[in-house]
A and B are shown apart, each in its own frame.
Chain A
């Protein structure tokens, strides 16, 4: 009688996916669990728009630069959530991996475990650098138990991070040869070096970066010879990259539409809305190694001349062909030549023609190429850590420790010389650093980090740890004067911008020769740490909040 329709059973399990009851039972399933955490979702540097390098004309700012960050901020909550998602997955993996012990070779098991522990340490590193003290979970937690959890001091977590990364460094290969490229010993050391630098543990930063610099043979790192190529497809398998997450349009990991158009010229079908700031432009030294306000080589009417070549690799130089069109924002340049169309076209990158052409007059160049406008999509790999950062971390750590020696200068000059496209020894072709003055060196290494890593998401944590955010992020965003108000004799810039010892520019001296396009503000009473999400504290009142949120 119980068979009226289809003799329906009641013990039904999902048809299209496995469930936890049976997972982690063999090597393949362990690998699935590890692979999952290599996804782009779990890896990123900070948003460059949190800094004085990058500005969004449409949004004007964000919770960081508006100073509106509060405990319901979606960005902070998403960041927190994704870190803990990865941590929970690692914890579940570690707790259950022995189910597969019988069928998985111990050597394989160790490497998988080391990868997982590295990823978990990376997530904790991201958490403590942004939130300070956070809940410290190392094994799967039952829901009922989770409500009693409080915040653990960041120092305790930091100690753990270092020991986990040591385990990973000891158990991961330096290279995978012709196999699938996964996290390496170098990756573990690089995260250790970065975390140590951010947390002011300069000895550890020095030692970890030095260990990477000392590596030889397969898997050793070198600087890519061409700075601008490094950020394009050509650089994606460079030996400079320590951790980079592949992105590929054919595999559906890519960005398209507005975000891409925001960074490309209006002549080429973009919007010119997400743009470099004037401060970014002015941060590049002249070829004599001096800041623009000190160098005699600087000419405000020809600001791209005699500058560190990384400027032209990062920001589109005026009057050059860019993505098929000559880029010239001068208000009187109403038409420009297009190499793509082989004729002169109306110049939509000029505010006399298009009201919303770049307000600062600049466009990003770094990492962008013709494919961006052809496909209105980009799938550049996400570079998380590259060797140049290790060199500069080494220099900075040593400078902070007062251990100024030739290795400090060499590390700095390696990065610098590559920016000029020359060898470190060719000191006549680039402004090699020679000073051993600690104060000077500190200024130089900070300047070097800003320009070397422009648009790579490192500036935000630098502003935070150097305690410069309260200065840099309270200055207005500077744009070019409106076309009608532009003094043609002072095109594009009225003079050399005064820049202080912290590298912060001051445009107040220029009056109406520059235009304030937006205000920034940064609340130093609270913003050096992000707020614990309000949701978290409502669910678990045991969690304390960071000051003034």
Chain B
């Protein structure tokens, strides 16, 4: 910071040539509404300014300057004469110029119309405007071909990103590049600091990232100050989160009745709960509420003490762009709470982006970012606990003491007093870029970016004591001992780049660009854990208060490095014919010396047909380009030392003179495959970009085919080899898919509106796995899709004993009311050999879209997202009773399961099998019996904002004030049981609907 400040002081001392000051206002050509944020530039220089919220600007220009250029998103660029009377009034004409937008690409930028690869971009409105805490959440449904999967709405939860479906069988997360530097997590940046997100989808665009680009690349640019900007902004937002859906369970007497039915189904002569308990439950509950099993506890209500969990955000943004120094600094704070105590997420994000013009030829960026998150969560998942616990277990005795619940397993006591896990992540990132322009058209860049992660965690699991209903001490406790586990992780990443970028326009319409670069990345990590147990007191979560006898610790470390050369050549002729080639040469420490080098080439071409004379006359066609690309990218993420067999240390115990002594053991646990090397993804992509009706309608469509070969994966090897599954280059996967993006943007008087829609699909097929397989409920075998459902084919439920006898069954216990399977191989018995592929598990036909309307001072936005087709398994948390042998009965089952107490015609309608523990291994095996249509449609965000006119508040020194209300995840349509959210698979924290109100004030 001090360094930055002194730089600012130094640089502001320097002076410029003779100048004069001009003032003016920029307004909309039709409505005369002032236009804020217009970029004004003095041609031939990098100096300029930006209009304020009233559309006004002041600019210091050399006396010789006669013309300035103005540009603004969605408006046609204007060159304005500055020799006229002041204040100048400049009008700009609305007209979608999205094809002229500059898009960030690998190690550079390009105009959208010049792109020859499959690249999608969204701007700050689509990221920060979604009002999410995490960037990953904001991408859900925002870009075609990008799927974001969430699994919970817990404080601080994030989404996982997939680009164009899956690419490989291992890690499929895309490479994330933040301002040119690879980062581990997209959510380390404040959504409000994001200027744009660009996704490189095809291999041609991603090939410049070589061995890390196979799963796609996400480029994030953070906001930087512009010339002439000067503001201080404060944003505040308060939100309330409510669960989208909460499961419901059987009542206490119902639970006991079903429990008994299950026991008698399994051969017990009677059930555990006497009929009188069930029949007289209401009376017993009134008279003996403290006596088991007469409680009637709503555990979810007990644990989730808040129906609405608050969430709050503060952002301070300081922007200053004067002459040679431009600074944008932001401090963001967000905090989210849960529906219950002891669970929260707090995050501080600090970012300072400086642009320094050292002299005419030399400029620099100096960025510093700091992230800190603090999260706390109970050591035991209270959601799961509150759902599994049947209502017959008591939460509190009548006098308010914690009840024993299930023999000391009391979710509310555990939540309030059982201890928490606290995790703190700190990340400090620096980025220093020098840009040197020795001659026109050539820019030399050097970048160094160190990043340090310092994480610590502390899990304190406390032992709780209970009392019996009569007040005496109970022998039960929640856990045998109080245990403290602490962890420390340290990661260092160093990135260095050297780039030479040459761009030349040659007369006759030729333009040539050449980029050459060198990059190296080094990553090292070290971690440490320590624990003690047996704490006499439970208020001191520090290791030294624990027992010396029961302590433990461990540590490990590793490092990896990558070194690369790369280059790009672009050429176009008269903005009509484009061709581009990329090449990257990577060397990775993850592979053995002989298998370390890899070359990733790509080529792409485009033809802007609309520039041809024969199409120029068609007035409704503003732009049309067809493009095609082919390229190769790789993947190296298969562990740090996959080609080496590590000797793992163990401890074995022996006696010596009657005393136990530990002696170290060591063994090779993994089978080493020494010739492991890169996996390669080849993508062919054909696409069109079009703009119609004076750029109002834009359309992009792509079809692609990608083939990943030499996939690195831990494949099943014979168990009798005696090793853990090794990673090997093992096969080939094909993915075919298409994407469609459409947008309409127009203006009716003072009403600006836009509609965008995207739709995509990808389907994978395993072409070869070298004869091996990955098997489970989701299997990956030759000819299957990736992670295709694999199990038995069902044929309803057995209805009568006569049906079961002689019918092929998994075992002789299978009885009426159990799931009936098809003897696929017709060998007269049901064995695991009858399992077949049951259809893909990955979502298909992903879509998303948004509608935006601006009218006068109002702005309105709606974002939706959905999945058109998905085979989903009804997980055990949704439909299986008696989890852990005692758990709750989901309400969905009631009246819908096969029962001996039903009439035969009722049983014919039964959706679920009979209640039985013995038959779990038959009924809940993976089969199509449990697959449902998992498609869904969801309103992701609704926002209504109002900006108070500057005139009204000008006197206070405020430039603008915007207030808004907004809601996230408002509504979902799906086929799961009503009380279940389609995005959640198990008893994780529920998805939440968030209702927010916020204000931003700008000085």
* Chain A residues proximal to chain B, CB less than 8 Å: 1-2, 4-6, 8-21, 23, 29, 31-40, 58-61, 63, 66-72, 77, 80-81, 84-89, 91-92, 134-135, 137, 141, 143, 146-147, 149, 178-182, 236-237, 245-253, 256-257, 261, 266-271, 341, 345-346, 354-356, 373, 375-377, 476, 482, 484-485, 512, 515-519, 521, 523, 533-536, 538-540, 548-549
Contact = CB atoms under 8 A, between A and B. Distances in A.
B560 interface: yes
Contacts of A80: 719-720
The 10 A-B pairs at the shortest CB distance, nearest first, are namely A88-B722, A4-B496, A36-B665, A519-B267, A269-B475, A376-B480, A5-B494, A32-B666, A8-B522, A58-B885
Given A13-B641, A39-B651, A355-B292, 12 more contacts: A1-B518, A6-B494, A14-B644, A23-B668, A35-B665, A59-B917, A66-B813, A180-B663, A376-B480, A482-B270, A516-B267, A535-B775
B653 A67 contact: no
B408 interface: yes
Nearest to A514: B269
B829 A548 contact: yes
Contact of B653 (A70, A89, A178, A248): A248
B656 A178 contact: yes
A4 B448 contact: yes
A16 B720 contact: no
Interface string B580-597: 000000011100010010
Contact of A15 (B448, B559, B885, B921): B559
Contacts of A37: 652, 665, 667
A539 B918 contact: no
Contacts of B521: 5, 8
A515 B719 contact: no
Most buried by B among A33, A38, A143: A143
A508 B76 CA distance: 94
Nearest to B259: A355
A261 B478 CA distance: 12
Contacts of A341: 472-473
A2 B563 contact: yes
B812 A19 contact: no
B922 interface: yes
B832 interface: yes
A507 B772 CA distance: 51
B452 to A, nearest CB: 13
Interface in B725-739: 726, 728
A188 B792 CA distance: 46
A179 B556 CA distance: 32
Contacts of B717: 143, 146, 539
Interface of B: 263, 266-270, 272-274, 292-293, 407-408, 446, 448, 450, 468, 470, 472-477, 479-481, 494-498, 518, 520-522, 526, 549-550, 552, 555-561, 563, 587-589, 593, 596, 640-641, 644-658, 660-668, 671-673, 716-723, 726, 728, 771-773, 775, 810-813, 829, 831-833, 884-886, 917-918, 921-922
Contacts of B829: 548
Nearest to A248: B660
A85 B641 contact: no
B722 A19 contact: no
Nearest to B667: A36
Nearest to A18: B647
A147 B654 CA distance: 38
B561 A39 contact: no
26 contacts: A2-B518, A5-B520, A8-B494, A8-B522, A8-B561, A9-B561, A13-B644, A14-B646, A17-B647, A18-B666, A20-B645, A20-B646, A31-B663, A32-B647, A35-B654, A37-B667, A38-B663, A63-B921, A66-B921, A236-B655, A247-B653, A248-B660, A269-B476, A341-B473, A476-B267, A517-B263
A251 to B, nearest CB: 5
A516 B558 contact: no
Given A143-B671, A521-B812, A539-B772, A12 B832 contact: no
B520 A2 contact: yes
A364 to B, nearest CB: 17
Contacts of A19: 641, 644-647
A376 B719 contact: no
B666 A29 contact: yes
A10 B587 contact: yes
B418 to A, nearest CB: 14
Contacts of A60: 266, 885, 917-918
B293 A355 contact: yes
A134 B719 CA distance: 12
Most buried by A among B479, B494, B831, B922: B831
Contacts of B917: 59-60
B757 to A, nearest CB: 44
B668 A257 contact: no
A271 to B, nearest CB: 6
Contact of A23 (B651, B655, B666, B884): B666
Contact of B662 (A88, A251, A268, A269): A251
B918 A61 contact: yes
A346 B886 CA distance: 23
A246 B654 CA distance: 6
B912 to A, nearest CB: 20
A339 to B, nearest CB: 13
Contacts of B651: 39, 251-253
Contact of B831 (A71, A345, A354): A71
A60 B264 CA distance: 12
A143 B640 CA distance: 22
Given A16-B557, A68-B810, A5 B588 contact: no
A71 B830 CA distance: 11
A539 B810 contact: no
B561 A10 contact: yes
Contacts of A16: 555-558
A266 B292 CA distance: 14
A521 B813 contact: yes
A324 to B, nearest CB: 8
A396 B593 CA distance: 62
B270 A85 contact: no
Contacts of B270: 482, 485, 515
A91 B722 CA distance: 10
Given A16-B558, A247-B653, A538-B775, A141 B721 contact: yes
Given A2-B520, A10-B596, A251-B660, A536 B719 contact: yes
Contacts of A178: 656-657
A267 to B, nearest CB: 7
A178 B496 CA distance: 60
B655 A237 contact: yes
Given A178-B656, A248-B653, A354-B292, A143 B721 contact: yes
Contacts of A10: 561, 563, 587-589, 596
B476 A135 contact: no
Contacts of B771: 147
Most buried by B among A13, A37, A86: A13
Contact of A135 (B475, B520, B563, B720): B720
B666 A36 contact: yes
Contact of A149 (B498, B718, B728, B810): B718
B30 to A, nearest CB: 53
B663 A35 contact: yes
B468 A346 contact: yes
B665 A180 contact: no
B660 A345 contact: no
Nearest to B563: A10
Nearest to A523: B812
Given A59-B917, A181-B655, A252 B647 contact: no
Nearest to A376: B480
Given A10-B588, A10-B589, A536-B718, A67 B644 contact: no
B654 A180 contact: yes
A539 B770 CA distance: 11
B526 to A, nearest CB: 8
A180 B656 contact: yes
